[in-house]
Structure 1
Amino acid sequence: MSTAWLADVAERTVAAGLHRTPIARRSHASGINLASNDYLGLSRHPAVIAGAHAGIDTWGAGSTSSRLVVGTTQAHLDFEDDVARFLGTDAALLFSSGYLANVGAITALVGRGDLIVSDAGSHASLIDGCRLSRARVVVVDRGDHDAVRRVLAQRAERRALVVTDAVYSVDGRLAPVRELFAAAREHGAMLLVDEAHAIGVRGPGGRGVVADSGLAGADDLVVTAVCSKSLAAQGGVVAGSRLLRDHLIDHARTFIFDTGLNPAAVGAAHAALRVLVADPGLPLRLRRNAERLAGALNAPAPDSAVVSLIVGDPVDAVAAAAFCRDRGVLVGCFRPPSVPDGTSRLRLTVRADLDDATIDTVAAVVHAALDTARCSSEVAAR
């Protein structure tokens, strides 16, 4: 098949303001970064870097194979034990990314002849896991636990799984995890909660929304999390019962057939977890900083580390993000398909290590960027 059609697609993508170009981040670059997911500011913490070095020094640069051959080190097992203890579960299993953890967990738990009820705010990794599972998938409005009940009550399938993010990644709002768990339990279903944007941010000591809801270690509850945000490294985790862990080892294809997470990432994530456990005030400082920034931008009080500012048109959103970048402030820019049409936005992710002066500087630059974007839209509309 000819690839000439790619040029047509590229032209339409550019015209719609949806073309994406990776921007290389320079080492030790000056400026203020509010586009990363390094919520606790631990990616350059000396203990975390030392943990990465120790992983390499002890085990080498790579894990060398899948976890089920020789890709599992004692470092993998030690981290799994500690992260399970932190999350209040009996066991945990480490994958090489959060994406693969979600896909692996869903496809190992349900399949053809089963039902998935998926929250409309679910991350792409949850959506892809649903699609690959071959189960029947029903999508409900974001946080609509009554809709979840109605779908589950009418099901004919043998098994059912409800999936949701704990913190919706686009705007940082919280899912009603307690209500979703009650709905699932009433109808004999499992609940899978992705805590990617909640670990280190919400809950006692940063243990997440599940712990904040009093559900840590509950039966019929599966927790997924990542090591690439608050834990400043890479990797994904599925936590729950020991029976769940054993089942995933036998049936999760993204665990069985993937090379194990590299030792440097394991060491860094484990070190970051120790820092968080030793300093449970980090999540409180993070949320205080997020509240200060949101207040300075006249935005709603945030539930998490995310401050989301809707611009509207994707071209204007890109221009606003570029305005900020040119003035030394990096911000996220979310456009369709990450968000619905007409809701392109700047997404600012706050860190625990920011001081008040830095937050005020960011607010001033973002205010100017949004004012510039509004003026451009008004001129274009005339």
Structure 2
Amino acid sequence: MIWESLDAELKAIEAEGLTRRRRIVDSPVAPEMVVDGKPVLAFCSNDYLGLASHPEIAEAMAEGARHWGAGSGASHLVSGHLRPHHQLEEALAAFVMRQRALYFCTGYMANLAVIPALVGRGDAVFADKLNHASLIDAVQLSRADSHRYRHLDLEHLEFLLATSTAPRKLIATDAIFSMDGDAAPLEALYELAEKYDTWLVIDDAHGFGVMGPQGRGSAAAVKLIPSPRVVYMGTLGKAAGVSGAFVAGSAKVLEWLLQKSRTYIFTTASSPAVACALLKSLDLIAAGEARRQHLASLIQRLRDGLAPLCAGRGWQLMDSDTPIQPLVIGGNAAALDLTRALLAQGIWVPAIRPPTVPKGQARLRITLSAAHSAAQVDALVNALATLAAPADGHLAATENLS
């Protein structure tokens, strides 16, 4: 039977320490959560500004549901484009200083929409090797020739661009890379896009709301020119604290995407209540400079605390000034052991393993939120210091919570 081979393949995944398991969360998203029935201090979510459980956003969603109902009833292009969706798209476009925006149910759907609409068979896409899976899948769906340049290596990218004879070209990049926490050189990428007449697609999933003046994103942080060749994507389930994503750019390009993007055309629009919640979230992001300053102080506090631990253990704290702070451990088993040991102390930090990261670079992906306190960050540092103390690399036996 065709499914019988699955047992052996699942066992092979287990043997390599790569099995993924879900945990059940019994509390709202916050630094202190209840996970699998146990209280933990969490450094897991992408709720960078601490807005996921904000009472004003929750009330805006509830009021939106009372007024507009729970569902949209249809796709945007049939009858599902309700007034809150339209207001949200206008507000998002103004916030990121672009002419127009489209709202999508998820960031994955947004990326799958953009690239296949802009390039196709015979064209070429040039993508950073560490781009998010949604960008990788979007390139495959486009049927364009795929060229992956070495991470942040502009010389390699320019060589690939200069030697390409494709009629249409597109550069695709994360603005902030989800597993390393480092930033793409958007200004230099734009210069290459200008030089070689290419599209530039920016996935700012982890920058929107955090980076730039008033949290307007990574493009605003470097004052990137609002050019028609630049297509900007931001997600709304991370710093914005709700769900969904948007694509913004010139009016002409966004009209093309509306006409051609299959994941926009052929799916039911999200709940209008979500759009109502996001309109409130945008207000809080714009007024959230104190949150961003507090978050920046926590990032520095964590880095200062972890730096002396890494040298003695062979751990690597990657170079990042964003809320994503990866602590590279190395082997899959070692990363899992460390996660379990932290859980035994009531601290939840996920172990990230291949294929999400390269083989031999399993890590703890520590994510910080403006909702964390300095004392909570110190608690994580102290716990890791305790676990780093043994000279033989052995971690004390812990309850298996993986």
Same fold (TM over 0.5): yes
1:76-115 map, 5 Å: 76-115=85-124
Which residue of structure 2 aligns with residue 313 of structure 1?
331
Task: Give the SS at the match of 2:348.
Answer: strand
Question: Is the contact between residue 210 and residue 292 of structure 2 (CA under 8 Å) also seen in structure 1?
Answer: yes
Among residues 158, 178, 186, which one is paired with 1:149 in the alignment? Answer: 158
- Residue 339, structure 1, aligned to residue 350, structure 2: no
* 2:332 aligned with 1:323: no
1:31-64 deviations in Å (ceiling 9; x for gaps): 3221000000011111111121122112211222
Match of 1:68 in 2: 77
> Which range is displaced more, 259-268 or 206-215?
259-268
* Matching of residue 239 in structure 1 with residue 248 in structure 2: yes
Greater mean alpha carbon deviation, residues 214-223 or residues 228-237: 214-223
The within-5 A match list for 1:33-182 is 33-182=42-191
Q: CA-to-partner distance for each residue in 1:52-107, whole Å, 9 max, x for gaps?
A: 11221122112222111121111111111111111111111001000000110111
Identity %: 33
Q: How far did residue 370 of structure 1 move? A: 4.8
Match of 1:284 in 2: 293
Aligned length: 379
Q: CA deviation at 1:326?
A: 2.7
Compute the displacement of 1:333 (Å): 1.6
- Classify the secondary structure of the residue corresponding to 2:176: coil
Cα separation, 2, equivalents of 1:372 and 1:41? 35
Tell me, yes or no, if the aligned pair for 2:233 and 2:246 is still in contact at 8 Å.
yes
2-side partners of 1:296 and 1:362: how far apart? Answer: 9
> 1:366 Cα deviation (Å)?
2.8
Q: Deviation at 1:301?
A: 5.8
1:158-307 equivalence runs, <5 A: 158-298=167-307, 299=317, 302-307=320-325
User: Deviation of residue 232 (structure 1)?
Assistant: 0.7
Structure 2 stretches lacking a partner, 5+ long: 29-33, 308-316, 398-402
Given that 1:169 and 1:197 are in contact with CA atoms closer than 8 Å, whether structure 2 keeps it comes out as: yes
Q: Does structure 1 conserve the Cα–Cα contact (< 8 Å) formed by 2:337 and 2:395?
A: no
Corresponding residue number in structure 2 for 1:18 = 18
Q: Secondary structure at the match of 1:348?
A: strand
Structure 1 distance, partners of 2:265, 2:285, is 30
Summarize the Cα distance change of 1:374–1:294 in structure 2 as closer, same or farther, 3 Å threshold.
farther
Q: Distance in 2 between matches of 1:183 and 1:357?
A: 44
Letter paired with 2:336? V
2:141 and 2:387 mapped to 1: Cα distance?
Answer: 41
> For structure 1, which segment, 182-191 or 363-372, has the greater mean C-alpha deviation from structure 2 after superposition?
363-372
Aligned-partner Cα distance in 2 for 1:305–1:80: 27
- C-alpha deviation, 1:315, in angstroms: 1.5
- Which amino acid in the other structure matches residue 244 of structure 1? V
Relative distance call for 1:161 and 1:375 in structure 2 (3 A) is same
Moved more, 214-223 or 133-142: 214-223
- Tell me whether 79-88 or 6-15 shows the greater mean CA deviation: 79-88
Secondary structure in structure 2 of the residue aligned to 1:31: strand
Aligned to 2:311: none
> How far does residue 346 in structure 1 lie from its aligned partner after superposition?
0.1
Distance 2:221 2:193 in 1: 18
> TM-score w.r.t. structure 2 length?
0.90
Q: Give the aligned residue type for 1:285.
A: H
1:232 and 1:10 map into 2 onto residues whose CA distance is 34
Give the match for residue 312 of structure 2.
none
* Counterpart position of 2:6: 6
For residues 100 and 389 of structure 2, what CA distance do their matches in structure 1 show? 50
Q: What's the Cα RMSD here?
A: 1.9
With 225-234 and 355-364 compared, the bigger mean Cα shift is at: 355-364
* Aligned residue in 2 for 1:363: 381
Give the drift of 1:264. 3.0
- How much has 1:378 moved relative to structure 2? 12
Q: Distance in 2 between matches of 1:340 and 1:346?
A: 14
Deviations 1:227-249 (A, max 9, x none): 01000111011110111211111
Q: Which runs of 5+ in 1 are unaligned?
A: none
Letter in 2 for 1:352: A
- Give me the whole-angstrom Cα distance separating, in 2, the residues matched to 1:373 and 1:331: 23
Query: Secondary structure of 1:375's partner?
Result: coil
Q: Distance in 2 between matches of 1:327 and 1:207?
A: 37
* Structure 1 residues 357 and 73, CA gap change in structure 2 (3 angstroms): same
Task: Check the 8 A contact 2:44/2:367 in 1, yes or no.
Answer: yes
Q: With structure 1 as the length reference, what TM-score do the two structures score? A: 0.95
